[in-house]
Structure 1
Amino acid sequence: MKLGTLRAGGRDGTLVVVSADLGHAVVARDIAPTLQAALDDWDRTAPALAELATALEAGSVEGRFALRIEDLAAPLPRAYQFLDGSAYLAHVERVRRARGAEMPPSFLEDPLMYQAASDGFLPPVGTIPVSSEEFGIDFESEVCVVTGDVPMGVGPAEAANHVQLVCLVNDVSLRNLIPAELAKGFGFVQSKPRSALSPVMVTPDELGDAWRDGKLHLPLLTWLDGERFGAPEAGADMQFSFHELIAHAAKTRPLAAGTIIGSGTVANQDESLGASCMAEKRMLEIIRDGKPSTPFLSFGARVRIEMLDGAGRNIFGSIEHVYEPYRR
């Protein structure tokens, strides 16, 4: 099933069940007022939401309405935490090689992960405000999962039972602010503003055979100003599955229901499939030419991120934004 959140209804919006073709929806208030409330009581709410989804597809549910994507907030307008990994070592290796550094052997066994902003996510369509182009504006096209309650010390095999939903994210990055922040030794703050989630989140069963072994085996499409920027295969070259990322995050603490785990920038060894962020394209130019030739984003740039199933149907809806100057 597919779940979304209407902007109406306060900071956490109003939970809706969305049809498979993203064309219609029905409010699920009688089951749970918000998606977070549904996740908090998933054993009870998931079967009821699935039953409502079946009725929606059959056209037999009262309150069915035509859905406009622009009426949606992020499926989780705010989350208890967003832990973003870096599971694609092709991306990590290129970034390090471009600055003359080798990838430590430990990266093959120990995932990179940081605590990202989660107190608010941008709506899936609209604008992304940034204070200055000098910050080095970039996008990062990623896959995410949302967990239920995860016990501390869970292993990867058990973690598989705690993946409740899957979605996409544009992990907005301000590249020119990153070096100074990392040099302090405490990680990202100013260089990682609010990100944008896809219009809907889906249960793993909605993905069929494309979801297996804790990975989503479909191309992740990114478009920049109407032209294809990249289409790497999200299931290929993923060093750490989502099950392993969850286990890594839960090694010393439990994870609350509604925790978002990100894959990091999707990248393949096959460079012909394109990239999922401007930084990687620039790194490849540095490796090839000794310097980057592609600038970071300017105001007015339009980025679209989406994933299609084998029949060409949009699974999560499209994340689509124009970057603009921030105004109070």
Structure 2
Amino acid sequence: MPLDRFIRALIQWQAVDRPAPVRTLTVEQARRRYADSAARTRGGAAPEAVAAVSDRLIGARDGSFGVRVYLPVTDRGRLVTYLHGGGWVVGDVDTHDGVCRRIAAALGAVVVSVDYRRAPEHPHPGPLQDGIAAAEWADAGFPGREHVIAGDSAGASLAVGIALHARDHGTMGFAAQLLVYPPADPDLTSESVTAYGSGYLSDADDLRWYYEQYVPEPRRGTDPAIDLLRADHRGLPPAVIGTAEYDALHDDGVALAARMAADGVAVQQVPAPGLVHGYLLLADVVPAAAEATGRVLAAVEHALTPVAVPH
């Protein structure tokens, strides 16, 4: 369908003062620009109500990192460990505060948002190890809940890596995966990279730079937590995969859904017609983005709801 009119306006506004490619910035400049952009897209909207929010510190073998815990107003016995997007380099618990509040409210879940240490200071497998530690901490701290491992963009890639680790090491069991516009092919060879890799708020060259910071190129095709299309997904929990129509990573999400389904995973692919990469962060200012966010969360609800078997 046509590009959403609000998205088109954002693209036209951005074109007036086209931002510099991320590879021309320092890491701190890139992080500040991403944070500023996320703050603007909140649009002054009141945050989704939750019962309580607290920041905690988790000790790791080589330091520590933070998590932000959201308690829902209506608790339905769910738990979500959430990994934010941002190319493993930018983004944090503040940029994705609104996303996590929506998840807590929609699913009636405790949400543990992971402030994993980022590349290039902490390249792969550092962010993944932090994500594993955070998910294990959440599982132990909120036992007996349906546990969803979730993330958007780079965070969705981390979420799959955590699910693979949990399956292989038996450290915890997940009830579902929520993966929104995941990067699955580190070589960025899909047709959507060519079609939508420029002029749609997320540039292919920026994606390449993020991969360069996160993982050395020789390792990309050998690690299943990075090259998700070559991973063995057998035995993983049901997955909800959200894709955006005008996204360089659109085909990655479609291909990942197909690969998971071929490996026997129950998959719901939820398209977002007319939208671009990063639509979760646009839900306060773009009505269609709010609707798409609602659809992916409704799909998670469906994955968590037992199907009644007629007697």
TM-score if structure 2 supplies the norm length?
0.28
Point out the structure with max Rg over C-alpha.
1
Greater fraction helix: 2
Greater fraction strand: 1
